[in-house]
Every structure is written in C-alpha cells, then in structure tokens.
Amino acid sequence: MTTLTDRPHTALLVIDVQNGVVAGAPRRDQVIANINTLLAKARLEDVPVIWVQHSDDGLVRGSDDWQLVPELARRDAEPLVHKEYGDSFEATELEELLAARKVGRLVVTGAQSDACIRATIHGGFVRGYDVTLVSDAHTTEDLTEYGAPAPEQVIAHTNLYWQWQSAPGRTGVTAETAKVTFGG
C-alpha cells in the first residue's frame, strides 16, 4: 500500500546493532536471536537486507564499541549504510539503495527504540514507505538517570503507538518476529 509507485518489494533494516549501543540493553540476546531469525528468513526469500551503523563523538568509527555485534553476520552483498543522525535516511544513501531495489515497505529491527529506531520508522513513514516495526527485535539503553522511563517501558510504548500508524496510502504496524512476512 506504499505511496511509492513501482516499489513492490520489502527490505529488512538492521539498525545500529553495535557493541557499544546494545551493551547492557534489556533482552539483548533475545533481540539479536530474533534478528538472526529474520536475517535467515529474508535471505531465504531473497529479500534485501540493509545494515545501518551509527557513529558520533561517543561512538567513534573504527572503535570496538562502533563494531557490529559478532553474533550477527553481515554478508558482503548486503549494503552497509553509515550514519551520523538518528534517522537512517538523513545524509545517507539509504533512499537510493531502497529505490534501486524497488523497496516500498520496510521491516525494521535494531537499536535504540527511543532514538534511531523511532527516528527511522518515522523518517521512512513520512517518505512514503509502509513500515513494520518488529516488536521483539528492537531494544534500548537505560536512561532512567536522565528521567526517561525504564527501557522495557520505552520498548513497550514504541510498540504501542506504532501499531496504529496510518496516513494516506501507507501504514505503520508492529509484528513479532514469528509473524513477520516479507511478501507484502
């Protein structure tokens, strides 16, 4: 139902699953296992997989914290988008990669639920994509010392509000890993 014409395909986005980003995050191992399940399914169905890797002053490119977690194996043919902003579309080649693959629907996984995940799902949505957030394949860090809710509440709230997103010609929904389909 995407508003992007002639873009019938779906892509799996794996956002910022980096050592320093998910260290200590709730359900870290479960989230990574769920992403691995989705990777296997996407690859089996020949669905494009696009990886996103963040860097900034606190997450220095090339550092151990910046590296993708070792439990996830990116294939050479799967594009890696380097970003410096929360929204994976901002100042990156993500849109061009998706357009070249005729992608109009995104299946989103990764970290941080309340930062880069939220920015990217909204960024894709306003750009005309249908966006599925995989409810059990994203996580975030504990920022309660700064007044944020507990991480599990942040994750639950992100899932809650995203499941009913709609706008002319597109939708935002959530799905558990086991219920994700890439066929449309």
The catalytic residue positions are: 116
Peptide bond into 30 cis (omega under 30): no
DSSP string across the chain: --SSTT--EEEEEEE--BHHHHTT-TTHHHHHHHHHHHHHHHHHTT--EEEEEE-BTTB-TTSTTTSBPTTS---TTS-EEEESSSSTTTTSSHHHHHHHTTEEEEEEEEE-IIIIIHHHHHHHHHTT-EEEEEEEEEE----GGGTPPPHHHHHHHHHHHHTTEEETTEEEEEE-GGG--S--
Q: Maximum CA pair distance of the chain?
A: 47
